[in-house]
């Protein structure tokens, strides 16, 4: 069985990242990073795949760890490829749209400083340097345009 975690180590030159865009009440939940390289910057909840996980399981786990929210996945907004200046590595970022959101937003204390709902107006006004990856702004634009692919475009073997 192919193991995605084997190519997602931060020591590699390329990382596979999975995130879930959580839309609630005309806004989006963002997390504020506590990690040194991106300290204080905002991102869409998500992270790296662990050994033995598939992309769907990893996304749900990362969201739960960072926000304390339980989610299902509605669809795939897109797979975004970019170079991360913070980690000095290429990244392929699978961004899903969350559905059936349950729980109360509460940040994870060791990796996340804050988890909160931002209005679209607040997100548009955020300066580029306030993002852990400024490319997340394009993801949010795509979401607002209704870009969504069925989960079946990804086959887990």
- How high is the pLDDT of residue 5? 53
Tell me, what's the pLDDT at 12? 57
**SS3 at position 139:** helix
**CB–CB of 97/73 below 8 Å?**
yes
Residue ranges in the chain whose pLDDT is less than 70: 1-12, 87
Q: For residue 149, what pLDDT is reported?
A: 98
Q: What is the pLDDT of residue 30?
A: 97
Which pTM was predicted? Answer: 0.88
Q: For 41-85, what is each residue's pLDDT tens digit?
A: 999 999 999 999 999 999 999 999 999 999 999 999 999 998 777
Q: Walk me through the domains of the chain, giving residue ranges and CATH numbers.
A: 4-147 (3.90.79.10)
């Amino acid at each position: 069985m192919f193991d995605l975690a084997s190519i997602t180590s931060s020591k590699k030159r390329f990382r596979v990242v999975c995130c879930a865009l959580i839309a609630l009440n005309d806004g989006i939940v963002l997390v504020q990073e506590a990690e040194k390289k991106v300290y204080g910057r905002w991102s869409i909840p998500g992270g790296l795949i662990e050994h033995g996980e598939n992309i769907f399981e990893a996304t749900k786990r990362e969201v739960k760890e960072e926000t304390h929210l339980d989610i299902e996945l509605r669809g795939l907004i897109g797979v975004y490829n970019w170079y991360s200046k913070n980690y000095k590595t290429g990244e392929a970022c699978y961004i899903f749209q969350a559905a059936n959101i349950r729980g109360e937003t509460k940040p994870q204390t060791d990796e996340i400083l804050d988890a909160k709902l931002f209005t679209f107006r607040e997100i548009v006004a955020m300066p580029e340097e306030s993002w852990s990856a400024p490319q997340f702004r394009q993801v949010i634009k795509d979401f607002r345009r209704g870009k969504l692919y069925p989960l079946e475009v990804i086959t887990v073997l």
